[in-house]
Amino acid sequence: MPVFSLPDGPGIGDLGPGAYRFVDFLQDAGQTIWQLLPLGPTAQGNSPYSSYSVFAGNPLLISCELLVEDGLLTTDQLQQAGYDCTGTDIVDYDKAAAIKRPLVRTAFDGFHSERHEQLISEFETYCRKNRHWLDDFAVFKALAGESGSFDWTTWDSSLVHRDTAATTQAQHRLKRQIQLTKFEQFVFARQWQQLKSYANERNVRLYGDMPIFVALESVDVWINQDLFLLGNDGHPLFVAGVPPDYFSKTGQKWGNPLYRWPAHDSTNFAWWTERFRQALASFDLLRIDHFRGFESYWEVPDAAENAISGIWQSGPRHAPFVAAQQALGDLPIIAEDLGLITDEVHALRDELGFPGMRVLQFGMDHEHDTYHRPEAYPEHSVAYTGTHDNDTLVGWYKDRCDRGINNTIVDRFLGAARDQIHVDLIRAVLQSAADTAIIPIQDLLGFGSEARTNIPGNAAGNWRWRCPEHVLTPEIGRQLQQMTVDSSRTSQDR
């Protein structure tokens, strides 16, 4: 369940009461893991896998209701702003921004007063502890607001190349906006840690997601240009993507700048270690998206029309993880090892001791290919009915039927009535040997393709699904709990 898909919050799910109710639902249903999508401030297209910062949180996920509890806003101010948490059946990013941004600014305006002495002290401590990324991000966001663009390659040359005098002038000129951004990040981090504590106290672990790549229009690339394959003007020479596969006949040209891996190696992967440090302070488990990119990655010329003309290049393999382990200890990481995976990728995953992913929908086409079929899941793996990139179970099965695809293998897992195919397939994943099983909320609810989160390769219309209110009923919770008990997956069994 992505945070943005929660039913509460004006235009978008957030870290407020709806998130706490979802934790309660998980606890009552006997569940111990909540997997989320990345939480960073999203760049164009609202994809959580494309963010302006790998360290920052998305201010649209801030709950203004919790700011009322902190005394930073009033219920009257929420009402005057049209803060209505009902009636939005899809995520409306524009509505969320129009309502929340002015309210957060209002909270900021009243923040520095004697009434908030304790909060001010917490804010100052937060800024000190996070200055290694927060100062640069706040300047970056202020400059983006001033210029009207996060594409820093279009800024004045002195700012593109981070001339000391130019950035110092910007810090003085944009001081208020810089402080507002720091306040936003403080509020987000504070609300997130409160939610995490609430979940952990109820035996629910939060399972985060780290994209391997970052957006060009990000502070991470702007301040670390030597760590990326860029030209002198800041534009990427090559970008990330994947070759033609299950999801797209022309591959996917993601557009993220690629890493200059020798430069990372020369610092003992310090930037990566800080990414892991921050992520593991926020989450109990961490999925590394596109893990195969550490073994080898698809390099696409920036000028190419699509990803077909790319080539494979060797990645840094285990080195970033070893450096992080030396600094941080054991890494509770799950490797997203989906797509065109080679023996070398499997070997790297096993060398690092990370569990991989098995996805039921990928195991139903060929009798001899059992890798993603529930009976073949190894214990050291994380099993899924589908991911955020898949159709829902119901939509996937209907599409197969409509297109006349042979469902002989799928049908083995279904009951005679065929009226609860999502329940039958969820049960198959839960009863596998995989030590962890994750079920997308849309599959639990038996929703069709209209509830899909993302269609890879489609630039528009994604990341908008929102869980309807009142569908996570006690009956659904009891059904999930019973399936969990029947498959010996309760905390007592493990």
The rounded distance, in Å, linking the Cα atoms of 378 and 349 is 14
Is residue 86 scored above 90 in pLDDT?
no
Catalytic entry in 217, 336, 337, 443: 336
Of 316, 248, 215, 281, the residue nearest 456 (C-alpha): 248
pLDDT of 493 reads 59
pLDDT one-digit tens code per residue, 187-212: 999 999 999 999 999 999 999 999 99
* Domain spans, the chain: 355-494
pLDDT, mean over the chain: 95
Instruction: Say if residues 134 and 125 touch (Cβ distance below 8 Å).
Output: no
CB atoms near residue 326 (< 10 Å): 11
pLDDT band of residue 176 (cuts 50, 70, 90) is: very high
Residue 115, pLDDT above cutoff 90: no
User: How many other CB atoms are found less than 10 A from the CB of residue 66?
Assistant: 21
Distance of CA 371 to the CA centre of its chain: 26
Q: Is the separation of the CB atoms in 449 and 461 below 8 Å?
A: no
Residue 220 tokens read as 């991470």
Number of neighbours of residue 144 by Cβ within 10 angstroms: 19
What proportion of the chain, given as a percentage, has pLDDT over 90? 89
Res 424 pLDDT > 60 = yes
389 in active site: yes
Whether 289 is a known active-site residue: answer yes
* Nearest-angstrom CA–CA distance, 214 and 204: 29
Percentage of the residues of the chain whose pLDDT score is greater than 70: 99
CA distance 299 to 211: 17
Closest to 308 measured CA to CA, from 248, 258, 259, 247? 248
Question: How far is it, in rounded angstroms, from Cα 440 to Cα 80?
Answer: 36
Respond yes or no: is residue 117 known to be catalytic.
no
Q: How confident is the model at residue 217 (pLDDT cuts 50, 70, 90)?
A: very high
Task: Give Cβ neighbours of residue 492 (< 8 Å, ≥ 6 apart).
Answer: none
Check residue 276 and give its pLDDT. 98
Of the residues 289, 302, 365, 469, which is catalytic?
289
- Distances in Å between the alpha carbon of 79 and those of 4, 87, 91, 300? 22, 16, 20, 49
pLDDT band at 460 (very low <50, low <70, confident <90, very high): confident
